Structure 1
């Protein structure tokens, strides 16, 4: 009886994981907002914007691969996406918003003022800028991975040929004048 109970416990855990994935796939297929929320969770988990830690470990689950981690959920459901163009545009939008958040949250106002007033070549404030650059590289790597998974090479070409140029053309000048816009553009 203990052996049967042990085997059933292991099977019940696998059934739980299966039910979670099946139910989540249905939600993601029928609700595009759920896909957007999952992408947001992927970005916030990877970048650690809500908590101090982040990275791939947080994307796939702390300390190991957990079945309900945002990255694992996306890996399980991305093949079933129907509108890959809008998902790719949402990934790009989340990248831009993440860069703005990194510039505003990771760099203090004093660092931003120092970076504006100090001539290039100076080391003043570079540690904060290096930390922000590391976070931006992580966000860009996550975005590139998600775009590649979502639509493959064709989606990457579409992003380069249409989405990014139209984004640069549509950037509002009044939006740029607020806060550290030069730094956001540089990052």
Structure 2
């Protein structure tokens, strides 16, 4: 007899199905009925796991963003931490382009949908705060201002997602790294 799925398993299946639908069809193709079918459950059951479609979208955003977390910033080695962060992003751009397709879809939709815009703004604010804390530490070139430098990194990452070739996107992030942390400046 096969093991029964737990609520957490079903929730993950729905989350993955929604992620895949956004990656393949954009937001216009995101239908809870299709998501439920892909997860192997009845459409009416989706609301037991996600009260609203917005809750499902917020969970997809959290799932996608969680791929980039690798712990708290090492404030005593901020350049190392930024290098690790951007190298992770560059690697994921090459290995998981679907992840960046979903994030791009979410960012584009956030401009037209206030509810999704609020979800994205809250996540971006946390990212900006983390980056600003890194740039606020000693060791950076004196011309680097923490807030604008954080905005530059975010703009570069978000902008590079629109390259058709993930390798080009990753190369853009690697170039940004070399501008912010020139070769040989880390011990």
Question: What is the TM-score normalised by the length of structure 2?
Answer: 0.35
Question: What is the TM-score normalised by the length of structure 1?
Answer: 0.35
Give the number of the structure whose alpha-carbon radius of gyration is greater: 1
